[in-house]
Amino acid sequence: MIELSGIYKVYGTAEASSTVLKDISLQIKEGEFIAIMGPSGSGKSTLLNILGTLDVPSSGKYNFETTDVTALSQDQRSLFRRYVLGFIFQGFNLLKKTTALDNVEMPLIYLGVHAKERKERALQALKSVGLEDRADYEPSKLSGGQQQRVAIARAIVTNPKVLIADEPTGNLDTKRSHEIMQILQEFNKNGITIIMVTHESDIAAYASRVLHVRDGIVEREENNVH
Amino acid sequence: MFINAFIQALREIKRNLMRSLLTAMGIVIGIASVIAMVNIGKGASQSITKSISKLGSNTLFITPGQQHGPGSQSAVAIPFKSKDVEVLKESIITLDAISAVESSSMTALYGDQNYQTSVKGIENDYFKIQDFSFKSGRDFTSNELRSGLKTCILGKTVVDKLFVNGENPIGKKLRLQKFSCEVAGVLNPKGANTFGMDQDDVILVPLNMFLRRVSGNENIHLIMVKVKDNIPLEEATVQIQQLIRENRHLKPQDEDNFSVRNMSALVDTISQITSMLTIMLGAVAAISLIVGGIGIMNIMLVSVTERTREIGIRIAVGAMSQDILIQFLIEAVVLSGLGGLVGVIFGISITMIVSYFMHFTLIIDPTITVVSLLFSMLIGIVFGIIPARKASNMNPIDALRYE
């Protein structure tokens, strides 16, 4: 489904540049659960951002199914994210003073879904993360684990093909982390491809494949059998 | 998209209610003052025009000297004499009434009351020209007028101030500084004129007595005439001009050293002045609108910075830059538009209150109302575009990392 070949990411000017990603090539099949691990500064976040089309590679090819993602304009990448991707962040990144329901509805607004259907789908998504009774709560009234579950609901409400998760358990304690991972694993079993960055090996253990990134290259990868 | 952006904007305004109210206040004040200024200006000018024409659109004012526009006075102002008035009376048949008028401010005494008022020396035609009628008593007799006997006719305000316990003023003697006079009549009240001057605050005396006792000379500075109803004002004006020129032996190349003006000229001047004032006040108010717009821009910039993360999230879930642009632009327009709406309500209320207390005609100009509303939204667009562009040009990665 996803094919990266020869991806480079260079920051800075010609005189003082730093190469964050060096000639990365990888393939991700539909339904995979990928964990990207690596120390800070290894380039794992940059790789995730490129996969999530929030960032663009300096050179190399990124194909999604039959689409040449590197050829897309900024607005086309927005549309690509809108229809194909879902995002989960370390800091939850929910809208403040906005109810869980409104937070989950937000991506559907950009999909042009009407208010009534939007509410139904958002409630359904909240139900799938076990938070249907917290729909009217604002993020400040929810625990970290609950906030991340709202964020997951927001990510999956558009029925994305791929879920991009940037350290989804980074701000959570161990118990909540495993709850969140179980939810993600459940969605993965239902067919959503997940690409996740983490630096905790027990979190990476939920993935079917772990990519170890160091100094801008995929150093090694391992397959987990569940 | 627009409806959602609109709902979103209202939500955002509600979220920062105090800040939004203060920001919109600039627009509220601006729009309210524009509407109030323009409406009150129009109302005032219309009431002035109306009451002037009520006062007599067929009245001419003949004054010595020549005025070229407000304030400037050229040609030597040689006062008229009684003889000039007589000549006009005898020679021009197009005139219905004619009266010389001399006036001075004096203190009138009666019993232990005293009151400062305007004393005018007039002839009987003055009542006709000014449309005064008698409540009691009579006008001046020809004997009184000719020999300048000490009689006087009082306006209602003067009666109220001097005859405090309601006694009948007729036949009583007033003291007017150096002389005393006997009250012959009392006028029916006419109320305030458009300039707020009380027309009943007056003591009328025979012209000759005024000249003798007050002026101490024969100089006359104002002749008021009423032209017959079926005669065009211009015709009468030309006749009067010719007659006075002859009388004053002016050569053809000399310019008039007097002027004959009518109320319509006065109406023109006044409506010119009021519309100029309206424009000026409106312009000052418009400047406050720009200040209000800058306030909106300022707060929108703050809002964009505060909501950097939100913008990042929205871009991440698939908002295109135009979605973000529209969202913030609509927010600015809703803010300024709501300010404009409240401003219109305030402006109209102010207009109504002022018109009521100042006795102006109440005019609510629909054009200025609609234009103000549209303009307030335009301000939202103009001053919202920079913050909105700033928001829409954000890099999602930086925006998501923003603390």
Specify the DSSP class assigned to residue A94: P
Torsion A96-A100-A102-A106 (CA) sign: positive
* Distance from C-alpha of A214 to C-alpha of A191, rounded to nearest angstrom: 29
User: Does any CB of chain B come closer than 8 Å to the CB of residue A226?
Assistant: no
Query: At A218, is the secondary structure helix, strand, or coil?
Result: strand
Q: Is residue A5 part of a domain?
A: no
A78, A96, A98 ranked by CB distance to B318: nearest? A78
Q: Is residue A91 part of a domain?
A: yes
* Structure tokens given for B389: 């562009």
Same domain, B257 and B291: no
Same domain, B247 and B307: no
Do B321 and A154 lie within an 8 Å CB cutoff?
no
Domain of residue B285: give its range: 2-51+268-401
Do A74 and B321 lie within an 8 Å CB cutoff?
yes
Report residue B43 CA to chain centroid gap: 8
B4, B310, B319 ranked by CB distance to A95: nearest? B310
CA B187-B189-B195 angle, 5° bins:
120
* Distance from C-alpha of A31 to C-alpha of A161, rounded to nearest angstrom: 9
Number of domains in chain B: 2
**Of residues B75, B43, B12, the one with CA closest to residue B299:** B12
Pairing of strands B151-154, A17-28: unpaired
* Structure tokens given for B286: 């418009």
The H or E element containing residue A82 is helix A74-84
What is the amino acid identity at position A164?
I
Q: Which pLDDT does position A149 carry in this prediction? A: 93
Same domain, B102 and B146: yes
Same domain, B45 and B153: no
Pairing of strands B258-262, B59-64: antiparallel
Q: Is residue A15 part of a domain?
A: no
Same domain, B89 and B199: yes
Torsion A116-A118-A122-A125 (CA) sign: positive
Number of domains in chain A: 1
User: Does any CB of chain B come closer than 8 Å to the CB of residue A11?
Assistant: no
Residues ≥6 apart with Cβ < 8 Å to A141: none
Same domain, B138 and B15: no
Residues of B in contact with A93 (CB under 8 A): 309, 312-313, 316, 400
Q: What is the CA radius of gyration of chain B?
A: 33
Same domain, B91 and B240: yes
Same domain, B253 and B323: no
Most B CBs within 10 A among A54, A73, A102, A147, hence the mutation to make, goes to A54
Torsion B159-B164-B168-B173 (CA) sign: negative
Q: Which pLDDT does position B350 carry in this prediction? A: 94
Same domain, B125 and B212: yes
Do A95 and B315 lie within an 8 Å CB cutoff?
no
Pairing of strands A85-88, A162-166: parallel
Q: Which pLDDT does position B87 carry in this prediction? A: 84
* Distance from C-alpha of B58 to C-alpha of B102, rounded to nearest angstrom: 21
Q: Which chain B residue has the Cα nearest residue A48?
A: B397
* Distance from C-alpha of B8 to C-alpha of B12, rounded to nearest angstrom: 6
More confident position, B7 or A73: A73
Q: At what angle do helices B263-306 and B308-316 cross, to 10 degrees?
A: 70
**Residue B377 contacts residue B337 (beta carbons within 8 Å):** yes
Nearest-10 Cα torsion for B213, B219, B222, B228: 100
Q: How far is CA A118 from CA A110, A121, A124, A148, B195, in A?
A: 11, 5, 10, 20, 65
Q: Is residue A7 part of a domain?
A: no
* One-letter-per-residue 3-state SS of chain B: CHHHHHHHHHHHHHHCHHHHHHHHHHHHHHHHHHHHHHHHHHHHHHHHHHHHHHHHCCEEEEEECEECCCCCEECCCCCECHHHHHHHHHHCCCEEEEEECEEEEEEEEECCEEEEEEEEEECCHHHHHHCCCEEEECCCCHHHHHHCCCEEEECHHHHHHHCCCCCCCCCCEEEECCEEEEEEEEECCCCECCCCCECCCEEEEEHHHHHHHHHCCCCECCEEEEECCCCCHHHHHHHHHHHHHHHCCCCCCCCCCEEEEEHHHHHHHHHHHHHHHHHHHHHHHHHHHHHHHHHHHHHHHHHHHHCHHHHHHHHHCCCCHHHHHHHHHHHHHHHHHHHHHHHHHHHHHHHHHHHHHHCCCCCCCHHHHHHHHHHHHHHHHHHHHHHHHHHHCCCHHHHHHCC
What is the amino acid identity at position A70?
T
Reply yes or no on whether the pLDDT at A138 is more than 70. yes
Do B321 and A78 lie within an 8 Å CB cutoff?
yes
Q: Which chain A residue has the Cα nearest residue B5?
A: A109
Residues of A in contact with B309 (CB under 8 A): 93
The dihedral region occupied by B359, where left means phi > 0, alpha psi between -120 and 50, and beta the remainder, is: left
Q: How far is B304 from chain A (nearest CA, A)?
A: 14
The average pLDDT across A138-155 equals 94
Domain of residue A92: give its range: 33-58+74-223
List all residues of chain A from 104 to 163 with a beta carbon under 8 Å from chain B: 106-107, 109-112, 154, 158
Same domain, B309 and B345: yes
pLDDT single digits (tens) A92-129: 999 988 999 999 999 999 999 999 999 999 999 999 99
Most A CBs within 10 A among B13, B317, B322, B402, hence the mutation to make, goes to B317
Q: Is residue A19 part of a domain?
A: no
Do A54 and B323 lie within an 8 Å CB cutoff?
no
Q: Which chain B residue has the Cα nearest residue A111?
A: B318
* Distance from C-alpha of B122 to C-alpha of B125, rounded to nearest angstrom: 8
Residues ≥6 apart with Cβ < 8 Å to B357: none
* Distance from C-alpha of B201 to C-alpha of A173, rounded to nearest angstrom: 90
User: Does any CB of chain B come closer than 8 Å to the CB of residue A79?
Assistant: yes
Same domain, B122 and B250: yes
Number of alpha carbons in the 13 Å side-chain half-sphere of residue B188? 7
User: What is the ipTM, given to two decimal places?
Assistant: 0.93
pLDDT of chain B, 403 residues: tens digit per residue: 678 888 888 888 888 899 999 999 989 999 999 899 889 888 888 887 777 766 666 788 888 887 655 555 555 678 888 888 888 888 777 888 899 999 999 999 988 888 999 999 999 889 888 888 899 888 888 888 887 778 999 999 999 988 888 888 898 888 888 788 899 999 998 877 656 678 889 999 999 888 888 888 888 999 999 888 888 888 888 888 888 888 888 888 888 888 888 777 777 777 788 888 888 888 888 888 888 899 999 999 999 999 999 999 999 999 999 999 999 999 999 999 999 999 999 999 999 999 888 888 888 989 989 999 999 999 999 999 999 999 999 999 999 888 7
Q: How far is A82 from chain B (nearest CA, A)?
A: 4
Q: How far is A98 from chain B (nearest CA, A)?
A: 9
Q: Which pLDDT does position B5 carry in this prediction? A: 83
Reply yes or no on whether the pLDDT at A33 is more than 60. yes
**Of residues A38, A32, A42, the one with CA closest to residue A224:** A32
Q: Hey, which bits of chain A come out as E strands?
A: 2-12, 17-28, 33-37, 59-64, 67-68, 85-88, 162-166, 193-197, 209-214, 217-223
What is the amino acid identity at position A144?
G
Q: Could you say which of B243, B262, B281 is where a domain stops?
A: B262
- CATH number of A195's domain: 3.40.50.300
Residues ≥6 apart with Cβ < 8 Å to B288: B26, B29, B30, B33
Same domain, B226 and B87: yes
Residues of B in contact with A86 (CB under 8 A): 317
Q: Which pLDDT does position B318 carry in this prediction? A: 92
Most A CBs within 10 A among B3, B16, B311, B313, hence the mutation to make, goes to B313
